[in-house]
Amino acid sequence: MRRLKIIAVCGHGQGSSLVMRMQLENVIADMGIDAMMECTCVAEATGMVRFADVIVTTDSLAKIVDIPEGIPLVTVRNLIDADEVATKLKAVVEEHYPEAISR
């Protein structure tokens, strides 16, 4: 099994995506997912998302980012809500990459 690549996309690629990254890294560790995280801004996302296994962003930014067909998208309302982030990421990974989760 290969390591999953998860990309967090925010407006400017610094503040909110880093907060999201910290949340996601905690979720990934808790779930035992073998994944690496990257953060990017909307302006650079198009060039990066085609190499992702999962993309995580806000509801509003998901309308702006050109998500390639077949790449799972996780949208959240509140970047710092650990429960929302965990619930949504877990559902996507279980659906698309169940083999990536250590049980």
Q: How far apart are CA 42 and CA 3, in angstroms?
A: 24
pLDDT at 88: 93
CA distance 28 to 33: 5
Residue-level pLDDT at 1: 61
pTM, two decimal places: 0.88
What residue ranges define each of the domains in the chain, with the CATH number in brackets? 4-100 (3.40.50.2300)
Q: Which residues pair with 75 in a beta bridge?
A: 57
Q: How many residues does the chain have?
A: 103
How far apart are alpha carbons 21 and 99 in whole angstroms? Answer: 22
Per-residue model confidence as pLDDT tens for the chain (103 residues): 679 999 988 887 666 767 777 888 888 898 898 899 888 888 888 889 999 999 998 888 899 888 999 999 999 997 778 888 889 999 999 999 999 888 6
Sheet holding 35-41, edge to edge: 35-41, 4-10, 54-58, 73-76
